[in-house]
Structure 1
């Protein structure tokens, strides 16, 4: 009996922010995977090692967490004024699907360095020392991201002294700017899809909760931590080890998705795990981060904990950080209330691994709240490059 050799596909394994994933150039993928469809999904699932009923990703490049079961496809820009197209696939761990419904803000950081290192940027634009601006078209959600990539000796600078909570070692600082990061809501323009800053959300099995529903960065359902029995200072073990808590948070997510019009029935939520996110907020309080570092209430504006693919995130998703900063800038939202009220252009919030500072610029236009930009600093570096091997079907 003859056996087919494995496919050998050029790939780069990168960390971006507090996530990591497998990066591909579009032209390096097999022809059938260069277009959307089952062939692409199957390939990326096999690369990651999903679906895996053991939940370990032993036979793939994934790390068996929502932060590490990710693939990125980078191609030449199809939109004027951009350098590359960026497509993101969140590969489910145990279930059999790839979620294309949103962006990964953390891996957005790595798109810029990848584009520079892989020949997508005109060499004449790359200084010997300084930074190069990479304009990225985020194809999942149709938005522009600007990544300012540090350069040293004419090459991407990866090492440095910038520290990011949730990442063990320092690296070079990469500034990421999300332009016009809100998606239009049902009312035709508001980043609040119901038109309300706070909604009463009926959650089966839980009750009626106040919720702020927003589409900036990524569709997100914000609820008050105390209203669901939390302090806002929880770490992963307190949430992820309790099936009843996870079920309650998923019920809130499903109810929010229905209210936001992202799904038409609760059953659809099972195959749309990446969006919306659900996060709970609380006023600032002292706590110990997952690394054992003391976080002082006086150093943050509020505490936020967010769920990703059914589990509490170990730090904070980049896109959810955009949602947090945007909601914090709008007086009257639950996020703004937790931060003490008023208006602000910058917010520093506590998450399980530490703190994060994010800026957002919002304005009211014809009675509708809009966000023009959100900015944060992250870091990125190549972990491995070469070829990934995938068994042929």
Structure 2
């Protein structure tokens, strides 16, 4: 009996921020997977080990969480004033699909280092020592990200003393600028606030009518108040992820919010749109013990935020959701801004399950519409393994 051999594809396994993913250069993918479509999706599903009815992704590179079930494709950019194009695929763990509807802000921190090391950035733009500026076109959402990548002796610097809550070990700091981060989602008319309001009354059958800030910035996100859904904002993963009723409630709120934002036309479409929109809940500052055992004082933060990703409470904070948090915090009157005490601000430090994170945003009211020129935050990135991914021939 003939057996199809495994094929091997050059790849790099990287941590970016509080996520991990498998990175590919577009030109290294099999020809059929170099264009969007079923062949690409099938390949990436097999790389990660999905769909897995056991929920473990044992036969692939995935780590059985939303933070570790990710893929990235990078190519030289033909766009003016950009170095590389970056495409992100969020791979479902137990279902046979890849969600291309949004970006991963955490893995964005690894794109610049990967692109430099992979020869995708013009060497004349990369100093031997100092900081390389990598201009990234985020192809999922059509936005620009500027990565500031430290260089030492002609190589990307990966080690350092920058500490990021949610990541055990320190590393080199990579500063990211998310330019004009308001997402131009189909059906949302390109507006940062697709409903036209900073706060809406969102009717959710079986839950009630909730105050909600629905924003397209970084990634479409629905913010509600923690106390309105029975929480304090100090919860860790175990308080929610083992509660099936709570998870169903969050998914119901997310579906109705997505409808109001114009992201879906029918509620049942939410099942194939796991990555976006995100749903998060906010609360005023309070003390709690982070998942690492570290004490977070109410005086350490401006507000508390907990966010759901792929149907589960995230262990820290998605980078794109942090952009949404920073943007909403900068705009007086949103639920995020009010939880942080209201007023105008250019940066916010929020508490999440793993600790704290600071994100800045420049917001302005232009012709009656709120605009944000950029959001800024620091992450870190590191190569974990490089070589070849092997998958059964298809």
Q: Which residue of 2 aligns with 1:248?
A: 249
- 1:199-218 equivalences under 5 Å are 199-218=200-219
Normalising by structure 1, we get a TM-score of 0.99
- Partner Cα separation in structure 1 for residue 320 and residue 256 of structure 2: 20
Shift of 1:125: 2.2
Residues 330-374 of structure 1: CA distance to partner in whole angstroms, max 9, x if unpaired? 000000110001010000000000000000001111100011100
Q: Does 1:2 align with 2:2?
A: yes
Q: Which residue of 1 aligns with 2:65?
A: 65
Q: Does 1:226 align with 2:227?
A: yes
- Partner Cα separation in structure 2 for residue 301 and residue 127 of structure 1: 38
Residues 145-169 of structure 1: CA distance to partner in whole angstroms, max 9, x if unpaired? 0001000011000000000000000
- Partner Cα separation in structure 2 for residue 11 and residue 65 of structure 1: 20
The answer to whether the 8 A contact 1:10-1:386 is kept is: yes
Per the alignment, in what secondary structure is the counterpart of residue 372 of structure 1? Answer: strand
Structure 2 unaligned regions, length at least 5: none
Residues 210-243 of structure 1: CA distance to partner in whole angstroms, max 9, x if unpaired? 0000000000000000000000000000000000
CA 234–72 in structure 1, closer or farther in 2 if over 3 Å, else same:
same
Residues 88-108 of structure 1: CA distance to partner in whole angstroms, max 9, x if unpaired? 000000011100000000000
The answer to whether the 8 A contact 2:76-2:121 is kept is: no
Shift of 1:122: 1.8
Q: Which residue of 2 aligns with 1:375?
A: 376
- Partner Cα separation in structure 2 for residue 253 and residue 46 of structure 1: 28
- Partner Cα separation in structure 1 for residue 190 and residue 127 of structure 2: 39
Q: Which residue of 1 aligns with 2:28?
A: 28
Per the alignment, in what secondary structure is the counterpart of residue 169 of structure 2? Answer: coil
The answer to whether the 8 A contact 1:187-1:195 is kept is: no
- 1:15-94 equivalences under 5 Å are 15-94=15-94
Q: Greater CA deviation, 344-353 or 188-197? A: 188-197
Residues 117-153 of structure 1: CA distance to partner in whole angstroms, max 9, x if unpaired? 0101122222221110000000000000000100001
Shift of 1:189: 4.7
The answer to whether the 8 A contact 2:188-2:261 is kept is: no
Per the alignment, in what secondary structure is the counterpart of residue 24 of structure 2? Answer: strand
The answer to whether the 8 A contact 2:188-2:263 is kept is: no
- Partner Cα separation in structure 1 for residue 184 and residue 248 of structure 2: 29
Structure 1 unaligned regions, length at least 5: none
Per the alignment, in what secondary structure is the counterpart of residue 120 of structure 1? Answer: coil
Q: Which residue of 2 aligns with 1:126?
A: 126
Shift of 1:309: 0.2
- 1:288-299 equivalences under 5 Å are 288-299=289-300
Shift of 1:252: 0.7
CA RMSD of aligned residues (A): 0.9
- Partner Cα separation in structure 2 for residue 124 and residue 87 of structure 1: 24
Per the alignment, in what secondary structure is the counterpart of residue 212 of structure 1? Answer: strand
- Partner Cα separation in structure 2 for residue 108 and residue 124 of structure 1: 22
Q: Which residue of 1 aligns with 2:109?
A: 109
Shift of 1:261: 0.4
- Partner Cα separation in structure 2 for residue 126 and residue 206 of structure 1: 53
Name the count of aligned residue pairs.
Answer: 393
